[in-house]
Each structure stands twice: as structure tokens, then as C-alpha cells.
Structure 1
Amino acid sequence: MWQLYQFPLCPFSRKVRLLMSEKGIAYEMWRENPWEGRDEFLAMNAAGRTPVLHEPAKGITLADSRAICEYFEETVEKNQLINGTAAGRAEIRRLVALFDENFFGDVTGPLLHERMKKRLVYRMAPDSKVLREAMKLAHEHLYYIDHLIDHRPWLAGATMSLADLAAAAQISVADYLGGLDWTGHDQARDWYAVFKSRPSFRPLLSERMEVIQPPSHYADVNA
């Protein structure tokens, strides 16, 4: 069975978990705190980042969420999440990169550093200026999701795709850390509420990080 080395508030781990659940791939989770830099973990991924997947029986180790997702798209036919025409697949990959890179860099990454890592690792108070800027940029990203949903049933087109999983993974962490204000973002909120209702998403909503608790609306599928 696949062993997933992951961190609960790592959005890239969450993306892989969502994909594996949607495809019905069995796995067991292993908690990994990337900042600890364990030698055994670094031996599997020299970058020292989660997620990492290991299959002992087959001797396979996979690192980097995009590489992992592409691997399963190529090897598991069920519920294809990078599908459609060549142009459609390019659009899915564009949006995955947007959320993995831009949303993470603007919103999720700063929130994780200020509200999680500073508290658990450095025992420091968060920088309110950084938090305000992250929440401001979150509005811009939510406006773009509003725009996409105004023109498409799902973010990349007519069907759910890896773009939706990537976006939902980032948003779920930002929402857990209290970094999102949904006011004025009805389209994005409705899209996310539908996603929160999926069986693949429910385990994420039920998990809690030690010390850090999410806002009351976090696990409410109607919020």
C-alpha cells in the first residue's frame, strides 16, 4: 500500500489526498513535520518538502505534488482529472500552476508562516502587516474564481478537474487559518461549498491541528 508522508496543513499534501480519494487509491498517512529535516525523509526527497509517496512493495518513491498527480493520471484510468482536448488539458495545468504557485505564494504560504510556523516552531507572534497583505491578496484570487465560475460550471471547464482540487486544497488551508473573507464572493463560496460536500473532502474538514483551531464555519458545508 502507498504510504503518504504529509503534513496536515500542507496544501500540496491535501491536493494529493483529494486526487487519491477521487480515484479510489488506497493509502496510509504518515505525519511529517518538514522543518525537522529528518534524515530518513530527506533520503526520500532531498528538497525536504511534503508530500512524498512511498510504495515499499514496488520500491517506488514519488515526490512533488504535481509529479505525483501526473503519475496517477497516467497509471489510473478512473476519474481522469486532466482530461478533454489538448487546449482543455493546457487550461487545467495553467490553473493548477496558478494555485500551486501564485495563491500559495500570495496567501497560503504567508498564512502558514505567520499563524502556524511562527507559533509552533519559533514561538513568535505573527506579523499583522503580513497577515493583512495576505488577506488582501486572497480577495483578488477569490474574485478570479468568481470570474471563472461565472463562465464555467467548474474552474477549468465543464467537468471537475485537477484545477478544482488544487484550488480547494489551497483554500482549505487558508480558510482553516482564518485568512479568507467570503464577503462579496458568492460564486467562489458556492463552488467551494459544493466541493466541501464531496466524500473526498470530508476527512480534511474533520481533522484538527494541535494548538491551532479553525474558525467555526470551516467544517460547515453550507457556509
Structure 2
Amino acid sequence: MRTLYHFALHPASRQARITLAEKKLKVTESPINPWQLDQGDWKKFEDITPEGVPPTLVDVIPSGEIIITGARAICEYANDGSTRHPLLAEDIVERAEARRLADWFDHKFAQEVDALILHEKVEKSIAGAGAADPAILREGRETLAHHLGYFCWLLERRDWLAGRYFSLADIAAAAHISCLDFLGEINWRDWPTLKEWYQKVKSRPSMRPLLMDRIPGFRAPRHYTDLDF
């Protein structure tokens, strides 16, 4: 029995959800809103998670209960727990590249893009902390363009982000990019190479629950759920 505590419009949570689905692991999802502490299973979540930030996976096994926090730990745990549907290549160079890019999204992309755009448009709105700052959004969008250009450069030379195989790098990218796409922050006409990659990712069964996410107070653009956008 597994329970995943997550927030729908949260890249780290989405990484965990996609990975668990790719590995065909059954899990019960428990939504958590870090900015509305009186809702959902927050008290239970707070008791088991010292960080107080989703995602957290609780895996009940015969020997007891395992609690794993953070997207990277959850993704690696899920991938290492079964040899079926591997999310890292056998080639050590491609494995290293997948981990490098996953780390890129977890840190560099999160700090330079998410911390500006998602914070201004999502976190401030939910927390009732005022309107988004246009200057901060502009900075985030300019940096986003540099990142997307780099990803296109990689995809012009590879089948998937890290190499020949779909990997944890693609999952990390999809988690972050899908949140921005939900907010209408990506003009896909400007990024045809990235669009082709994202169409392949969106068509995977592991992405379907994310495309069905609905967040009160937010409306995704029409193309968000369209596989052939």
C-alpha cells in the first residue's frame, strides 16, 4: 500500500506522480496544499514529513512503513525498486546525463524560472499575497526562453533529453514544463522541436492524470489537454 502526498500544480509532486505511473506502481494520491494548512490531510502529512513540503511517499511493506520525501528520492526509489520499465539507461554515460538534467530542473530551472513565474502566478494567488509583479514575470519569462532554447538544442541531437531512451530527465522536464503550460506560459509556435517532444510525452499514459488536474481559481488554456496541439 502506497500513499503519495502531493500538490497538483507543483513540479516536484508531478515528477513523483509521473514516475510512479511509469513504473506501474499502485498508489493512493492525497492532495496537500502547502499554502492552505487547514485543508486536506495536512495534519497527518505534517506528522510524517519533517520538511513540511510535498511530495512525500509512504510505502507500507511487510517489515514496516517507509517514508520518502522529495521528488529525487521518490523517483530513484521507485526506479530502483523494480527492474520493469527502467527509467535510467544501462549505459553509464546516459544514466549520468539523465541525472544531470534532472538536477538541472530540480535546482537551476526551479530557481531561475519556477521561483519567479510559479511563485508570482500560483503561490501568491493561493496565499492571498497580492497580484503578480510584472517585472518579476518578465524576468522569469526571459530566463525561460534561454532554458527552452537549450532543451531544443539537446533534442535536435537526441531521441530524448538524455539520449536514446525516455528517462527521469524527461520526467523532470515534463513536470516543470506542464506546470508552465497549465498557466499558458509557453508559446509552442516558437519551440517546434520542444513541442514535438512534449507531444510524445503527453501521449504517455503516465501523463493523463496530470492533464485532468483542476485547480480552483485557475483555468488552463484549451490546448493543455490536447495531445495533438
Q: TM-score, normalised by structure 1?
A: 0.95
Task: Decide whether the 8 Å contact of 1:107 with 1:174 is kept in 2.
Answer: no
Q: Indicate whether 1:219 and 2:220 are aligned.
A: no
* Separation (CA, whole Å) in 2 of partners of 1:23 and 1:95: 20
Q: Indicate whether 1:30 and 2:30 are aligned.
A: yes
Task: Decide whether the 8 Å contact of 2:201 with 2:207 is kept in 1.
Answer: yes
Q: What are the Cα deviations for residues 50-85 of structure 1, in whole angstroms up to 9, with x where unaligned? A: 100113453111101111111122211111112222
Gaps of 5+ in 1: none
Task: Decide whether the 8 Å contact of 2:5 with 2:31 is kept in 1.
Answer: yes
Q: Aligned AA for 2:94? A: G
Residue range with higher mean Cα deviation, 203-212 or 32-41: 32-41
Following superposition, the deviation at residue 95 of structure 1 comes to: 0.4
Gaps of 5+ in 2: none
Task: Decide whether the 8 Å contact of 2:7 with 2:32 is kept in 1.
Answer: yes
Following superposition, the deviation at residue 201 of structure 1 comes to: 0.5
Following superposition, the deviation at residue 43 of structure 1 comes to: 2.8
Runs of 4+ in 1 over 6 A off after TM superposition: none
Task: Decide whether the 8 Å contact of 2:16 with 2:71 is kept in 1.
Answer: yes
For 1:62, what is the secondary structure of its paired residue?
strand
Task: Decide whether the 8 Å contact of 1:135 with 1:180 is kept in 2.
Answer: no
Alignment length, in residue pairs? 223
Q: Indicate whether 1:43 and 2:47 are aligned.
A: yes
Q: Find 1:198's aligned residue among 198, 204, 207.
A: 204
Q: TM-score, normalised by structure 2?
A: 0.92
* Separation (CA, whole Å) in 2 of partners of 1:123 and 1:103: 23
- Counterpart of 1:153 in structure 2 is 159
Following superposition, the deviation at residue 181 of structure 1 comes to: 2.3
Following superposition, the deviation at residue 39 of structure 1 comes to: 4.7
User: Which aligned pairs between 1:165-180 and structure 2 lie closer than 5 A?
Assistant: 165-180=171-186
Task: Decide whether the 8 Å contact of 1:88 with 1:156 is kept in 2.
Answer: yes
The sequence identity of aligned pairs, in percent, is 38
Residue range with higher mean Cα deviation, 108-117 or 137-146: 108-117
Q: Indicate whether 1:127 and 2:133 are aligned.
A: yes
Task: Decide whether the 8 Å contact of 1:23 with 1:78 is kept in 2.
Answer: yes
Q: Aligned AA for 2:226? A: D
Q: What are the Cα deviations for residues 151-186 of structure 1, in whole angstroms up to 9, with x where unaligned? A: 000000111011000000000001111222223211
Following superposition, the deviation at residue 123 of structure 1 comes to: 4.4
